[in-house]
Amino acid sequence: MEQAAGGENVKSYTLEQVLSAALRQQQAIAVWRLPLQTEVQACISFAPQTTSTIPELESSPAGFLFCPFETEGTHGHIFLQADIHYSALTKQLNTGTDAPAAQVSLFTEALNQTENGKPYAWPIPANPARHSDRNEENFKAAASLAVDVIRAEAMEKVVLSRTSTIPLPDAFSLHKAFEKMCSAYPNAFVSLVAIPGVGTWLGATPEILVSVDQQQLFKTVALAGTQPLCEDGSTANAIWRQKEIEEQGMVERYVLSCFKKLRLREYTEVGPRTVIAGNLMHLRTDFKVDLKEVDFPTLGTDMLRLLHPTSAVCGLPKEPSLRFILDHEGYDRSYYSGFLGPVNSEAGTHLYVNLRCMQLLQHEAVLYAGAGITGESSPEKEWQETKHKLQTMGKILSEF
Protein backbone atom coordinates (compact mmCIF):
# COMPACT_ATOMS: atom_id res chain seq x y z
CA MET A 1 0.00 0.00 0.00
CA GLU A 2 1.29 3.45 -0.90
CA GLN A 3 0.70 6.69 0.90
CA ALA A 4 1.23 10.25 -0.19
CA ALA A 5 4.65 11.57 0.81
CA GLY A 6 4.83 14.86 2.63
CA GLY A 7 1.98 14.48 5.15
CA GLU A 8 -1.35 16.31 5.06
CA ASN A 9 -0.48 19.13 2.66
CA VAL A 10 0.09 17.13 -0.51
CA LYS A 11 2.47 19.09 -2.72
CA SER A 12 2.87 18.95 -6.48
CA TYR A 13 6.28 18.45 -8.08
CA THR A 14 7.57 18.46 -11.64
CA LEU A 15 9.59 15.58 -13.05
CA GLU A 16 12.57 17.94 -13.28
CA GLN A 17 12.38 18.65 -9.54
CA VAL A 18 12.12 14.94 -8.67
CA LEU A 19 15.04 14.04 -10.95
CA SER A 20 17.22 16.89 -9.62
CA ALA A 21 16.54 15.91 -6.00
CA ALA A 22 17.47 12.27 -6.72
CA LEU A 23 20.72 13.29 -8.45
CA ARG A 24 21.58 15.78 -5.73
CA GLN A 25 21.04 13.18 -3.00
CA GLN A 26 22.75 10.47 -5.07
CA GLN A 27 19.72 8.19 -4.90
CA ALA A 28 18.91 5.62 -7.58
CA ILE A 29 16.08 6.66 -9.89
CA ALA A 30 14.28 5.12 -12.87
CA VAL A 31 11.96 7.19 -15.07
CA TRP A 32 9.81 5.64 -17.81
CA ARG A 33 6.90 5.99 -20.19
CA LEU A 34 5.13 2.96 -21.66
CA PRO A 35 4.47 2.85 -25.45
CA LEU A 36 1.43 4.83 -26.67
CA GLN A 37 0.88 6.24 -23.15
CA THR A 38 1.22 9.80 -21.90
CA GLU A 39 1.92 9.14 -18.21
CA VAL A 40 5.55 9.43 -17.17
CA GLN A 41 6.41 7.58 -13.96
CA ALA A 42 9.46 7.40 -11.73
CA CYS A 43 10.63 5.39 -8.78
CA ILE A 44 13.34 6.30 -6.29
CA SER A 45 15.08 3.50 -4.43
CA PHE A 46 17.17 4.14 -1.31
CA ALA A 47 18.84 0.71 -1.33
CA PRO A 48 19.06 -0.87 -4.82
CA GLN A 49 19.40 -4.66 -4.61
CA THR A 50 21.87 -6.48 -6.85
CA THR A 51 21.56 -10.20 -7.57
CA SER A 52 23.67 -12.53 -9.70
CA THR A 53 20.63 -14.16 -11.34
CA ILE A 54 17.35 -12.98 -12.87
CA PRO A 55 15.00 -12.35 -9.91
CA GLU A 56 11.48 -13.78 -9.58
CA LEU A 57 8.85 -11.38 -10.87
CA GLU A 58 5.70 -12.74 -9.26
CA SER A 59 6.81 -12.37 -5.62
CA SER A 60 8.63 -9.08 -6.17
CA PRO A 61 7.54 -5.82 -4.54
CA ALA A 62 6.73 -2.92 -6.85
CA GLY A 63 9.80 -1.38 -8.46
CA PHE A 64 12.01 -1.34 -11.55
CA LEU A 65 14.41 -3.97 -12.94
CA PHE A 66 17.64 -3.12 -14.77
CA CYS A 67 19.48 -6.20 -16.02
CA PRO A 68 22.60 -6.80 -18.15
CA PHE A 69 23.11 -8.63 -21.45
CA GLU A 70 25.16 -11.42 -19.87
CA THR A 71 23.07 -13.37 -17.37
CA GLU A 72 26.16 -14.61 -15.53
CA GLY A 73 28.69 -11.88 -16.30
CA THR A 74 30.35 -9.24 -14.14
CA HIS A 75 27.33 -6.87 -14.13
CA GLY A 76 24.58 -7.48 -11.59
CA HIS A 77 20.81 -7.66 -12.04
CA ILE A 78 19.62 -4.53 -10.26
CA PHE A 79 16.21 -4.09 -8.66
CA LEU A 80 15.07 -0.64 -7.58
CA GLN A 81 12.31 -1.11 -5.02
CA ALA A 82 9.86 1.79 -5.30
CA ASP A 83 10.50 3.49 -1.95
CA ILE A 84 8.99 6.56 -3.58
CA HIS A 85 6.78 6.44 -6.68
CA TYR A 86 6.05 9.54 -8.75
CA SER A 87 3.50 10.15 -11.49
CA ALA A 88 3.86 13.16 -13.77
CA LEU A 89 0.07 13.06 -14.30
CA THR A 90 -0.80 13.72 -10.64
CA LYS A 91 2.56 15.44 -9.96
CA GLN A 92 2.58 13.72 -6.58
CA LEU A 93 4.83 11.36 -4.65
CA ASN A 94 3.64 8.17 -2.99
CA THR A 95 5.72 6.34 -0.41
CA GLY A 96 6.06 2.56 -0.28
CA THR A 97 4.78 1.01 2.97
CA ASP A 98 8.20 -0.23 4.10
CA ALA A 99 10.20 2.77 2.83
CA PRO A 100 12.58 4.15 5.52
CA ALA A 101 10.79 7.20 6.97
CA ALA A 102 13.99 9.14 7.71
CA GLN A 103 15.18 8.90 4.10
CA VAL A 104 11.74 9.78 2.72
CA SER A 105 11.79 12.86 4.92
CA LEU A 106 15.29 13.84 3.71
CA PHE A 107 14.22 13.37 0.11
CA THR A 108 11.12 15.56 0.43
CA GLU A 109 13.26 18.21 2.18
CA ALA A 110 15.68 18.13 -0.76
CA LEU A 111 12.74 18.49 -3.15
CA ASN A 112 11.57 21.61 -1.39
CA GLN A 113 15.03 23.19 -1.62
CA THR A 114 15.35 23.23 -5.40
CA GLU A 115 18.22 25.59 -6.11
CA ASN A 116 17.29 27.64 -9.19
CA GLY A 117 17.16 24.58 -11.44
CA LYS A 118 20.92 24.08 -11.03
CA PRO A 119 21.90 20.88 -12.90
CA TYR A 120 23.44 18.01 -10.93
CA ALA A 121 25.93 15.43 -12.09
CA TRP A 122 24.46 12.11 -13.14
CA PRO A 123 26.12 8.89 -11.93
CA ILE A 124 28.82 7.33 -14.07
CA PRO A 125 30.20 3.78 -13.63
CA ALA A 126 32.60 3.18 -10.75
CA ASN A 127 35.08 1.75 -13.29
CA PRO A 128 34.13 3.18 -16.70
CA ALA A 129 35.19 0.82 -19.48
CA ARG A 130 37.12 2.47 -22.27
CA HIS A 131 34.94 1.97 -25.32
CA SER A 132 37.17 1.49 -28.32
CA ASP A 133 34.62 2.07 -31.06
CA ARG A 134 34.95 -0.50 -33.84
CA ASN A 135 35.66 1.18 -37.15
CA GLU A 136 33.93 0.13 -40.35
CA GLU A 137 36.74 -2.17 -41.41
CA ASN A 138 36.83 -4.05 -38.07
CA PHE A 139 33.05 -4.42 -37.86
CA LYS A 140 32.79 -5.74 -41.43
CA ALA A 141 35.66 -8.18 -40.79
CA ALA A 142 33.82 -9.59 -37.74
CA ALA A 143 30.56 -9.78 -39.74
CA SER A 144 32.35 -11.55 -42.60
CA LEU A 145 33.86 -14.08 -40.17
CA ALA A 146 30.37 -14.63 -38.67
CA VAL A 147 28.96 -15.39 -42.16
CA ASP A 148 31.72 -17.98 -42.70
CA VAL A 149 31.04 -19.63 -39.32
CA ILE A 150 27.28 -19.72 -40.07
CA ARG A 151 27.83 -21.19 -43.54
CA ALA A 152 30.03 -23.86 -41.91
CA GLU A 153 26.88 -24.67 -39.87
CA ALA A 154 28.46 -23.90 -36.48
CA MET A 155 25.50 -21.56 -35.77
CA GLU A 156 22.44 -20.14 -37.57
CA LYS A 157 22.61 -16.48 -36.60
CA VAL A 158 24.63 -14.09 -34.45
CA VAL A 159 23.96 -10.47 -33.51
CA LEU A 160 27.04 -8.25 -33.69
CA SER A 161 26.94 -4.81 -32.14
CA ARG A 162 29.20 -1.78 -31.88
CA THR A 163 29.45 1.50 -30.01
CA SER A 164 29.82 5.09 -31.14
CA THR A 165 31.17 7.55 -28.57
CA ILE A 166 30.32 11.20 -29.15
CA PRO A 167 30.88 14.37 -27.08
CA LEU A 168 27.83 15.60 -25.18
CA PRO A 169 26.53 18.97 -26.43
CA ASP A 170 27.28 21.88 -24.07
CA ALA A 171 23.56 22.53 -23.58
CA PHE A 172 22.73 18.87 -22.84
CA SER A 173 20.14 18.34 -20.10
CA LEU A 174 19.14 14.90 -18.78
CA HIS A 175 15.56 15.95 -18.14
CA LYS A 176 15.17 17.60 -21.57
CA ALA A 177 16.71 14.57 -23.31
CA PHE A 178 14.06 12.34 -21.72
CA GLU A 179 11.28 14.73 -22.81
CA LYS A 180 12.66 14.86 -26.36
CA MET A 181 12.69 11.03 -26.53
CA CYS A 182 9.06 10.88 -25.33
CA SER A 183 7.88 13.25 -28.06
CA ALA A 184 10.08 11.77 -30.83
CA TYR A 185 9.22 8.09 -30.15
CA PRO A 186 5.58 7.66 -29.04
CA ASN A 187 5.58 3.92 -29.94
CA ALA A 188 8.65 3.11 -27.84
CA PHE A 189 9.31 2.29 -24.20
CA VAL A 190 11.24 5.40 -23.14
CA SER A 191 13.49 5.18 -20.08
CA LEU A 192 16.08 6.98 -17.99
CA VAL A 193 17.95 4.99 -15.34
CA ALA A 194 20.52 6.62 -13.03
CA ILE A 195 22.13 4.39 -10.37
CA PRO A 196 25.13 5.53 -8.30
CA GLY A 197 28.18 3.35 -8.98
CA VAL A 198 26.48 1.76 -12.00
CA GLY A 199 25.80 4.61 -14.40
CA THR A 200 23.16 6.52 -16.34
CA TRP A 201 21.31 5.14 -19.35
CA LEU A 202 18.71 6.63 -21.70
CA GLY A 203 16.75 4.68 -24.29
CA ALA A 204 13.70 4.36 -26.54
CA THR A 205 13.27 0.66 -27.29
CA PRO A 206 10.69 -0.96 -29.60
CA GLU A 207 11.04 -4.50 -28.24
CA ILE A 208 8.98 -5.99 -25.43
CA LEU A 209 10.57 -9.01 -23.76
CA VAL A 210 7.94 -10.07 -21.20
CA SER A 211 4.84 -8.30 -19.92
CA VAL A 212 1.94 -9.29 -17.66
CA ASP A 213 -0.71 -6.57 -17.45
CA GLN A 214 -3.51 -5.89 -14.91
CA GLN A 215 -5.82 -8.22 -16.86
CA GLN A 216 -3.30 -11.07 -16.37
CA LEU A 217 -2.47 -11.11 -20.07
CA PHE A 218 1.08 -12.33 -20.77
CA LYS A 219 2.78 -10.92 -23.89
CA THR A 220 6.04 -11.29 -25.72
CA VAL A 221 7.10 -10.49 -29.29
CA ALA A 222 9.43 -11.75 -31.99
CA LEU A 223 10.97 -8.62 -33.52
CA ALA A 224 13.68 -8.80 -36.18
CA GLY A 225 14.52 -7.65 -39.69
CA THR A 226 15.29 -3.98 -40.25
CA GLN A 227 14.99 -1.48 -43.07
CA PRO A 228 14.74 2.33 -43.23
CA LEU A 229 11.24 3.79 -43.03
CA CYS A 230 9.58 4.33 -46.44
CA GLU A 231 9.64 7.94 -47.66
CA ASP A 232 5.85 8.27 -47.27
CA GLY A 233 6.16 7.22 -43.60
CA SER A 234 3.79 4.24 -44.02
CA THR A 235 4.35 0.48 -44.00
CA ALA A 236 2.17 -0.14 -47.07
CA ASN A 237 5.09 -0.30 -49.52
CA ALA A 238 7.51 -2.25 -47.33
CA ILE A 239 9.25 -5.02 -49.29
CA TRP A 240 11.19 -7.55 -47.22
CA ARG A 241 14.14 -9.56 -48.51
CA GLN A 242 14.47 -13.27 -47.82
CA LYS A 243 17.30 -12.52 -45.34
CA GLU A 244 15.02 -10.40 -43.08
CA ILE A 245 12.07 -12.80 -43.36
CA GLU A 246 14.29 -15.71 -42.34
CA GLU A 247 15.88 -13.70 -39.51
CA GLN A 248 12.46 -12.85 -38.08
CA GLY A 249 11.35 -16.47 -38.52
CA MET A 250 14.29 -17.59 -36.37
CA VAL A 251 13.17 -15.33 -33.51
CA GLU A 252 9.59 -16.65 -33.83
CA ARG A 253 10.80 -20.25 -33.67
CA TYR A 254 12.91 -19.38 -30.64
CA VAL A 255 9.85 -18.02 -28.74
CA LEU A 256 7.85 -21.12 -29.71
CA SER A 257 10.68 -23.40 -28.52
CA CYS A 258 10.50 -21.68 -25.10
CA PHE A 259 6.73 -22.33 -24.91
CA LYS A 260 7.42 -25.94 -25.86
CA LYS A 261 9.99 -26.35 -23.06
CA LEU A 262 7.29 -25.21 -20.61
CA ARG A 263 4.73 -27.52 -22.29
CA LEU A 264 2.53 -24.49 -22.93
CA ARG A 265 0.11 -24.93 -25.83
CA GLU A 266 -2.58 -22.30 -25.16
CA TYR A 267 -1.30 -19.11 -26.80
CA THR A 268 -2.30 -16.83 -29.64
CA GLU A 269 0.13 -15.74 -32.34
CA VAL A 270 -0.44 -12.74 -34.64
CA GLY A 271 1.99 -11.77 -37.38
CA PRO A 272 4.47 -11.23 -38.78
CA ARG A 273 3.52 -7.66 -39.67
CA THR A 274 5.55 -4.55 -40.44
CA VAL A 275 5.87 -2.07 -37.58
CA ILE A 276 7.53 1.36 -37.35
CA ALA A 277 10.19 2.15 -34.73
CA GLY A 278 11.54 5.69 -35.07
CA ASN A 279 13.26 5.98 -38.47
CA LEU A 280 13.13 2.19 -39.08
CA MET A 281 10.72 -0.62 -39.88
CA HIS A 282 10.81 -4.14 -38.42
CA LEU A 283 8.90 -7.41 -38.76
CA ARG A 284 7.00 -8.32 -35.61
CA THR A 285 4.93 -11.26 -34.37
CA ASP A 286 2.92 -10.92 -31.14
CA PHE A 287 2.35 -13.82 -28.72
CA LYS A 288 -0.26 -13.69 -25.94
CA VAL A 289 -1.33 -16.04 -23.13
CA ASP A 290 -4.43 -15.36 -20.99
CA LEU A 291 -3.32 -16.32 -17.46
CA LYS A 292 -6.94 -16.21 -16.26
CA GLU A 293 -7.59 -19.23 -18.48
CA VAL A 294 -4.18 -20.94 -18.34
CA ASP A 295 -2.99 -22.05 -14.90
CA PHE A 296 0.62 -20.91 -15.14
CA PRO A 297 1.29 -18.38 -12.34
CA THR A 298 5.08 -18.24 -12.90
CA LEU A 299 4.96 -17.85 -16.69
CA GLY A 300 6.47 -14.33 -16.57
CA THR A 301 9.63 -15.42 -14.71
CA ASP A 302 9.92 -18.78 -16.50
CA MET A 303 9.72 -17.19 -19.96
CA LEU A 304 12.07 -14.35 -18.98
CA ARG A 305 14.74 -16.85 -17.90
CA LEU A 306 14.32 -18.93 -21.06
CA LEU A 307 14.10 -16.01 -23.49
CA HIS A 308 16.96 -13.77 -22.35
CA PRO A 309 19.19 -13.12 -24.20
CA THR A 310 16.85 -13.65 -27.16
CA SER A 311 18.00 -14.57 -30.63
CA ALA A 312 17.17 -10.96 -31.60
CA VAL A 313 20.11 -9.70 -29.49
CA CYS A 314 22.34 -12.78 -29.23
CA GLY A 315 21.76 -15.43 -31.89
CA LEU A 316 20.90 -19.08 -32.51
CA PRO A 317 21.73 -21.49 -30.99
CA LYS A 318 22.33 -19.36 -27.90
CA GLU A 319 25.61 -20.90 -26.64
CA PRO A 320 27.79 -20.72 -29.79
CA SER A 321 26.45 -17.28 -30.74
CA LEU A 322 27.12 -15.90 -27.24
CA ARG A 323 30.64 -17.33 -27.37
CA PHE A 324 31.19 -15.70 -30.79
CA ILE A 325 30.01 -12.32 -29.43
CA LEU A 326 32.31 -12.49 -26.40
CA ASP A 327 35.26 -13.53 -28.59
CA HIS A 328 34.80 -11.15 -31.54
CA GLU A 329 32.70 -8.12 -30.62
CA GLY A 330 35.58 -6.35 -28.94
CA TYR A 331 33.86 -4.61 -26.02
CA ASP A 332 31.69 -5.21 -22.93
CA ARG A 333 27.98 -4.68 -23.71
CA SER A 334 27.21 -4.13 -20.02
CA TYR A 335 23.48 -3.21 -19.88
CA TYR A 336 23.04 -2.72 -23.64
CA SER A 337 20.73 -5.49 -24.97
CA GLY A 338 19.89 -6.48 -21.39
CA PHE A 339 16.36 -5.68 -20.23
CA LEU A 340 14.58 -3.15 -18.04
CA GLY A 341 11.16 -1.99 -16.91
CA PRO A 342 8.59 -1.64 -14.12
CA VAL A 343 7.69 -4.71 -12.05
CA ASN A 344 4.33 -5.18 -10.28
CA SER A 345 3.32 -1.56 -10.84
CA GLU A 346 -0.35 -0.58 -11.04
CA ALA A 347 -0.09 -1.25 -14.80
CA GLY A 348 1.57 -4.66 -14.21
CA THR A 349 5.06 -5.86 -15.18
CA HIS A 350 6.51 -4.60 -18.47
CA LEU A 351 10.08 -5.57 -19.35
CA TYR A 352 11.74 -4.36 -22.56
CA VAL A 353 15.01 -5.19 -24.30
CA ASN A 354 17.49 -2.33 -23.77
CA LEU A 355 17.97 -1.35 -27.43
CA ARG A 356 18.28 2.08 -29.14
CA CYS A 357 20.01 3.35 -26.05
CA MET A 358 22.98 5.35 -24.84
CA GLN A 359 25.08 5.44 -21.71
CA LEU A 360 26.13 8.82 -20.37
CA LEU A 361 29.68 9.37 -19.19
CA GLN A 362 30.89 12.68 -17.76
CA HIS A 363 31.36 14.51 -21.07
CA GLU A 364 30.44 11.84 -23.63
CA ALA A 365 27.57 9.60 -24.69
CA VAL A 366 28.19 6.00 -25.74
CA LEU A 367 25.60 4.95 -28.34
CA TYR A 368 24.93 1.27 -29.10
CA ALA A 369 23.58 -0.59 -32.13
CA GLY A 370 23.61 -4.15 -33.45
CA ALA A 371 22.70 -6.14 -36.56
CA GLY A 372 21.65 -9.76 -37.01
CA ILE A 373 24.12 -11.74 -39.14
CA THR A 374 22.87 -14.80 -41.06
CA GLY A 375 24.33 -16.87 -43.89
CA GLU A 376 22.76 -14.39 -46.36
CA SER A 377 24.24 -11.27 -44.74
CA SER A 378 26.26 -8.63 -46.56
CA PRO A 379 28.76 -7.02 -44.12
CA GLU A 380 28.27 -3.67 -45.91
CA LYS A 381 24.46 -3.77 -45.40
CA GLU A 382 24.88 -4.79 -41.75
CA TRP A 383 27.23 -1.82 -41.19
CA GLN A 384 24.61 0.48 -42.74
CA GLU A 385 21.93 -1.04 -40.49
CA THR A 386 23.93 -0.15 -37.37
CA LYS A 387 24.34 3.41 -38.72
CA HIS A 388 20.55 3.73 -39.11
CA LYS A 389 19.97 2.39 -35.58
CA LEU A 390 22.52 4.79 -34.04
CA GLN A 391 20.45 7.68 -35.43
CA THR A 392 17.64 6.98 -32.90
CA MET A 393 19.74 8.39 -30.04
CA GLY A 394 21.95 10.56 -32.29
CA LYS A 395 18.86 12.54 -33.34
CA ILE A 396 18.09 13.36 -29.69
CA LEU A 397 21.61 14.65 -29.01
CA SER A 398 21.61 16.69 -32.23
CA GLU A 399 18.60 18.66 -30.96
CA PHE A 400 20.63 20.36 -28.19
| Domain contains 184 | no
Model confidence over 21-78: pLDDT tens digits? 999 999 999 999 999 999 999 999 999 999 999 999 999 999 999 999 999 888 999 9
pLDDT tens digits, one per residue of 162-202? 999 999 999 999 999 999 999 999 999 999 999 999 999 99
Structural domains counted in the chain: 1
Query: Alpha-carbon distance 304 to 257, whole Å?
Result: 13
Query: Could you tell me if residue 349 is inside a domain?
Result: no
For residue 116, name the pLDDT band (cuts at 50, 70, 90): low
DSSP labels, 72-139: TSSSPEEEEE-SEEEETTTTEEEE-TTS-HHHHHHHHHHHTT--TT---PPP-BSSPPP-----HHHH
267 lies in some domain? yes
Look at residue 172 in the predicted model and tell me its pLDDT: 96
Q: What is the CATH number of the domain that holds 228?
A: 3.60.120.10
Amino acid in position 368: Y
Cβ proximity of 370 and 163 under 8 Å: no
Q: pTM of the full predicted structure?
A: 0.95
Asked, for residue 127, whether it belongs to a domain, the answer is no
Query: How many beta carbons lie within 10 A of that of residue 84, not counting itself?
Result: 26
290 lies in some domain = yes
Task: Judge whether 16 lies within some domain.
Answer: no
* C-beta atoms surrounding 137 within 10 Å: 9
Within a domain: residue 230? Answer: yes
Report helix, strand or coil for 270.
strand
CB 26 within 8 Å of CB 123: yes
Highest mean pLDDT among 124-133, 220-229, 289-298: 289-298
Domain assignment present for residue 3? The answer is: no
Where in the sequence is the domain holding 223, given as residue range(s)? 136-171+210-332+359-398
